[in-house]
Chains A and B, each alone.
Chain A
Amino acid sequence: MSRREIVIEPITRLEGHGKIHIFLNEKGDVERAYLQVPELRGFEKFVVGRPAEEMPQITSRICGVCPTAHHMAATKALDDMYQVEPPLAAKKIRELIYCAFMFEDHALHFYFLGGPDFVVGPTAPRAERNILGVLARVGLEIGREVIGVRKQLRDLIARVGGKVIHPVFGLPGGITKALAPADREAFLAGADRAVEFALFSLKLFKGIVLENPQYMEWIRSETYTHRTYYMGLVDERNRVNFYDGWLRVVDPNGREFLRFPARDYLRHIAEHVEPWSYIKFCYLRDVGWKGFTDGPESGVYSVAPLARLNAAEGMATPRAQEAYEQFYATLGGKPVHHTLANHWARLIEMLYAAERMQELARDPEILDPHVRNLPTAIPRAGIGVVEAPRGTLIHHYETDERGLVTRANLIVATQNNAARIAMSVDKAARSVIRGGVVDDGILNLVEMAFRAYDPCNACGTHALPGQMPLLIRIYNPRAELVRELRRD
């Protein structure tokens, strides 16, 4: 076949990691671009036969990137399995810790992983498109604050929940220990600092991105736009919630399409398999799989910050709500279909997480020493859901009557997003690569399409590179390597 292939390896690490393959035709235009992500092998085999109570510890060790999300989803699956409702204080402490985690993870992405794209700029010289370039642009004071506020929150999570890497506080029906008044004071201080930092970050984004016509053109461009369905957790008033609620799906016109409790997920979410990828592509069963295409007839949906804002009717805290309104006013109403708007949505969620921490820490009920209801039901099956930083995360376990796991299924955020991410990579490649011209800046425009989702290929590998290097291989029509570009 007369074509050549370009491979972008977003992670330098090892064989089998995330790669973008771009196939060019004779004219040098893109025939098709694929994203491949690694597979987590042996999870089911590993957990079958183990006590369900171990799942919050085991699943949180799958990945060093978002242990808190797995720990929380697993703990909630155990609540469901033992049909035990945690006391209010326990729920609030869980959510408090969870909001701290969401904040620090989002801050990391905005400044250090996604930052090089927008803060520094996609077409800046590649030597500057890294963490140091971000620091040079925002100033060392801000750099120190990013490190400082994240460290403070991570220390708080560790203080109440055990090590950030291996949280141990979640139990079926509650948590291991009540919140001490001193811990509450520490959380209040951390929350105040986080609110200030989130507000500052939104201001920074306004100055650097919103007031830059070129950036706004990229955000709004068709290259980075898909009109899909969106899913996210909402509270009883359809406002964004990270810890609990109903899964709400809106259609590409922003109308409510579904609203269901997590335990019904199998009725609404199905998985499609492609021969070229390990990942199973989630789609809406009620719409059906129509291929990698958008519009109301296609069951492709999206999760993560932009999707959460689209799937909700607002934010539950005042300043985040203001930012939410400004977001839609600026980008032309709901829903926003521009993938790159995820960066802005992430900052609005950071502000919400920080304000929600303030609310929870101020709530007198959070000091109630009663933080666990003992489970008495015979275990059978449990399903738990949270919004991980990268989108909806569902844990589903089945056990025998002794509580030993017989089956486990995890739907991770990047899987929910997989179809749309694949479409984004393909569309961006088609749009920016013409006549075989492929340089570093052009490839970065392709990479930006998937980095906006903050996709985590780390679930099997605890890999989190500080930046995303590229390996590009270009082959002639006889599949001989003619050129290799490397960016570290």
Chain B
Amino acid sequence: MAILILGLGNDLLSDDRIGLLAARALRALLQGQEGIEIVESAGSGLALLDLMAGYERAIVIDAIQTGQVPPGTILEWRVREPLPVRAPSPHFTGLPELLAVAQALQIPFPEEIHIYAVEVTDPYTLGREITPAVRRALPELMRRIQAQLQAWQVSPEGA
């Protein structure tokens, strides 16, 4: 299996669901596409090691709250090697360590990881409603991820 698309978030925590929604939308779009696996998870830390091990490339979609940019802004990081990724999200605080652990233990881990994080308004209140600004980011998020997949030559059109 070549590419993992990993949507992260808590399905009960309002804006924190955005990564899961994106994963679901991509699953519908990419149906039948060979070589891509789409996974949703509320996990973090070491659990991500289990989820990501064995893929060549990975796209990770999550919510983030930096307070520095307007809600709905899509932030991107590209990780090619163990680097200190200073993203203030629980899912990513552990990523540099994960990469380092995978390397130390010789666990096969994606060589390229692209992180797409949507700035959110409220990831703390239980609820299924997503705030409008965050929801509006979804089409652009999908566009960017599809472009990336295309760049990796596995476009949804089956190129």
Contact = CB atoms under 8 A, between A and B. Distances in A.
Given A42-B126, A465-B94, A140 B104 contact: yes
B47 to A, nearest CB: 7
Contacts of B126: 40-43, 45-46, 62
B125 interface: yes
A131 interface: yes
Interface in B116-157: 123-127
A150 to B, nearest CB: 7
Nearest to B65: A14
Q: At the interface, is chain A mostly helix, strand, loop or mixed?
A: loop
A12 interface: yes
B53 to A, nearest CB: 9
B44 to A, nearest CB: 5
B33 interface: no
A46 B123 CA distance: 14
B91 to A, nearest CB: 8
Contacts of B50: 151, 154
Contact of A464 (B90, B100, B123): B90
Interface in B35-72: 41-47, 49-50, 65, 67
A453 interface: no
Nearest to B51: A165
Contacts of B49: 147
Interface residues of A, number: 48
Best-surrounded residue of B50, B84, B125, B126 (most CB of chain A within 10 A): B126
A166 B97 CA distance: 25
Given A13-B90, A38-B124, A140 B10 contact: no
B5 interface: no
Interface string B62-101: 0001010000000000000000101011100110011011
Interface string B12-42: 1100100000000000000000000000011
A164 B43 CA distance: 9
Given A61-B12, A464-B90, A131 B124 contact: no
Interface string A1-32: 00000000001111110000000000000000
A154 B53 CA distance: 15
Interface stretch (A386-394, A421-429, A443-451, A455-463): A455-463
Contact of A466 (B11, B12, B93): B93
A254 interface: no
B101 A143 contact: yes
Contacts of A143: 101, 104-105
B46 A147 contact: yes
A470 to B, nearest CB: 12
A203 interface: no
Interface string A133-175: 0010000100110010011001000000000111000000000
Contacts of A465: 44-45, 90, 93-94
Contacts of B12: 46, 58, 61-62
A466 B89 contact: no
Contacts of B93: 11-13, 465-467, 469
A342 interface: no
Nearest to A38: B124
Contacts of B65: 13-15
B107 interface: yes
B23 to A, nearest CB: 13
B16 to A, nearest CB: 8
Contacts of B97: 130-132, 466-467
B104 to A, nearest CB: 6
A463 B62 CA distance: 12
Interface in A196-221: none
Contacts of A147: 46, 49, 101, 105, 107
A375 interface: no
B124 A466 contact: no
A463 B100 CA distance: 20
A43 B127 CA distance: 9
Interface in A38-59: 38-43, 45-46, 58
B11 A61 contact: yes
Contact of A462 (B90, B100, B104): B90
Given A62-B12, A165-B43, A466 B98 contact: yes
Interface string A473-488: 0000000000000001
A150 B43 CA distance: 14
A166 B94 CA distance: 21
Contacts of A460: 13, 124
30 contacts: A11-B90, A13-B89, A14-B123, A16-B124, A38-B124, A43-B126, A46-B12, A46-B127, A61-B11, A63-B10, A64-B47, A65-B44, A108-B46, A112-B46, A131-B97, A135-B105, A143-B105, A151-B50, A165-B43, A461-B13, A461-B123, A462-B16, A463-B44, A464-B44, A465-B44, A466-B46, A466-B94, A466-B98, A467-B94, A488-B84
3 closest A-B pairs by CB? A463-B90, A466-B94, A64-B42
Given A41-B125, A469-B93, 18 more contacts: A12-B93, A13-B88, A13-B93, A14-B123, A15-B67, A16-B124, A41-B126, A46-B127, A108-B46, A112-B46, A131-B101, A143-B101, A143-B105, A154-B47, A165-B42, A462-B90, A466-B97, A467-B97
